[in-house]
Chain A
Amino acid sequence: DTGVSQDPRHKITKRGQNVTFRCDPISEHNRLYWYRQTLGQGPEFLTYFQNEAQLEKSRLLSDRFSAERPKGSFSTLEIQRTEQGDSAMYLCASSLGDRTQETQYFGPGTRLLVL
Chain B
Amino acid sequence: GNSVTQMEGPVTLSEEAFLTINCTYTATGYPSLFWYVQYPGEGLQLLLKATKADDKGSNKGFEATYRKETTSFHLEKGSVQVSDSAVYFCALGRMGAGNNRKLIWGLGTSLAVNP
Contact = CB atoms under 8 A, between A and B. Distances in A.
| B partners with A | yes
Given A42-B89, A99-B95, A106 B43 contact: yes
Contacts, number: 64
Interface string A88-104: 00010101010111111
Contacts of A45: 102-104
A107 interface: yes
A15 B22 CA distance: 40
Interface of A: 31, 33, 35, 40-45, 48, 50, 55-56, 58, 91, 93, 95, 97, 99-109
Contact of B43 (A33, A56, A103, A109): A109
Given A106-B45, A108-B42, A43 B105 contact: yes
Given A56-B99, A56-B102, A91 B43 contact: yes
Interface in B18-55: 32, 34, 36, 42-46, 49
A99 B96 contact: yes
Contacts of B42: 108
Interface residues of B, number: 27
A-B pairs with lowest CB-CB distance, top 7: A42-B105, A45-B102, A106-B44, A108-B43, A102-B95, A106-B43, A55-B99
Nearest to A106: B44
Contact of B107 (A40, A48, A99): A40
A103 B49 CA distance: 9
Nearest to A33: B102
A56 B105 contact: no
B101 A102 contact: yes
A17 to B, nearest CB: 25
